[in-house]
Every structure is written in C-alpha cells, then in structure tokens.
Amino acid sequence: MRNLVKKMSSLVVALVMVVGVFTCATVFAANSNVPSTYNSGKKKIVGQVDLSNVTYNNGQEVEKNGKLFYEGYVGGTVEASDLFEGAYDKFVADFKGQKEPIKRKPYENLVMFDKGEEFPSIKYTVKFPKNFVIDENAITVSESTETIGKIEKFYDKDSNSVTFRLFLGTWNDYKGFFELYDKEKGTAGHNISINIPYSVEIKDQNTTDLGTISSDGKCELYKYGGWFGYGTKIVNVTSKPISFHVTR
C-alpha cells in the first residue's frame, strides 16, 4: 500500500510538471519581417514582437555656419499584416469560439481598454541622448490600415524622447478588431510609418561615437466590469528593445 501511494504521488508530480510545461510553452509566429513569440496560456494574450527588421537609422555629417553637425533620421515602416500576425494566430488558436470557464461568456466579445477605461492603444517610445536636438514639428506619422484609427505623437523634453500612441481600430472587442485585421491579412499596402529627424553638433573632431538611440513599445489592454469594476489585464505585448549606435 505504501509503495502504491508513492507511485501515485510520483504520477501526480509528473502530471503537474507536464501541465506546467504546456501552460508555459511559447508559440513562435513564422513571419520573417516581424518575428514574434506568444505564450500559450488561455486567459491572456502575452508575447513579444521584434521590429528590428522594419526600423532604420540613417544620417550624414553637415557643415553649417562653420560648425559640424551629424543630421539623421530614425523611424520605421511596418505592414499591419505583419505587425499583428502573431496576435491574430494566438486569437484564432485560443480565443475564437471559446468561452470563459465560469461565466461562459465568449472570449471574442471581450472589449479592450487602456488602463483607466481609455481608448485601447499601442505606445512606442524612441529615446535620444540629451545633446541630440529633435525638431518636434518635423516628426511625421502615417497609417493606411483599418487596424489603426489614428496616431498621436508626444515629445517629452525632460527625457528627450518621442512617444507614439497608435489607437487600435474603432474601440472593438477581440472579434471586431481581428475582423479588421482579417480583411488585410496577407496583403501589402497597409503600412504604419513613423520618422523622426534629429541632429547633434560634433564639437570634438576625434569623437567617433555620438550616442545611442533606444526604442521600445508596449500594448497593455484591460477588460472592465465585474463586482468591483477593477481592470483585469488581458493583453500584455511588448516589443523587443532596439538600440541604434550613432557613429561617424
């Protein structure tokens, strides 16, 4: 009997380990332009996207009024079909047609909010060294996709950074947003673009390393309601941090 109990205990431990492995497993999206990874859990969309293939930094030295400057621009252009592919695959695999285990409400009808019941959005921040000069009025943004309603930009002087807020769709539930995506899936011409001009004075001719521009993004979405009205995070997707080392 004691041996049987030990065997049963070992079996239970083994099953727990197997369940743990599968619930923490990671799903890799095959998109080559925007590689992404998403956890296979059933309650949330959690993952990371890599935008390094669709971002750029270019520049050159320019002499003005007897002074030497490095003038450049940093930005990126991504197809909406590529950007949201991993999240769409996750939605189809784990949420479409499925229901919450307790309330039995369809997952696909969860309405997305930013924290504080604000319009759902993606935020992407580009940070510059303190001595870099940003022409706020020359920053450009554009989008030609139904998945993005509009793009706003904010320049923070203290941190010398620019944050872009990309508003998702028309404030949809999961189903509505991914129906917008499905219309454009696999097609070209639905770009999201940002571009930031910058300049930095070269005061020392021996200087080769001018500084590092860094960027990262996040999409944190919540559902609201229930007895206490607290927001519950249902989407937590980040972008892999990117750094551009500006050199002469």
| Contacts of 70 by beta carbon, 8 Å cutoff, 6+ apart | 59, 60, 61, 62, 199, 200, 202, 210, 246, 248
pLDDT in tens, 100-143: 777 778 888 989 999 999 999 999 999 999 999 999 999 999 99
pTM, two decimal places: 0.85
Strand blocks (E) in the chain: 26-29, 36-39, 45-49, 55-64, 67-79, 121-127, 133-134, 140-143, 148-156, 161-168, 191-201, 209-223, 232-239, 242-247
Q: Which residue has better confidence, 130 or 12?
A: 130
What secondary structure letter does DSSP report for 84? T
The pLDDT value recorded for residue 50 is: 98
| Residue 210 to residue 101: CA distance in whole angstroms | 55
| Residue 44 to residue 174: CA distance in whole angstroms | 12
- Residue 229's pLDDT band, with cuts at 50, 70 and 90, is low
Upper half-sphere CA count for residue 59 (Cβ side, 13 Å): 25
pLDDT in tens, 21-74: 333 344 555 567 999 999 977 778 999 999 999 999 999 999 999 999 999 999
Range of the domain at 74: 2-247
* Residue 211, both tokens: 């500084």
State how many domains the chain has.
1
Angle at 165 between CA 141 and CA 223, to 5 degrees: 145
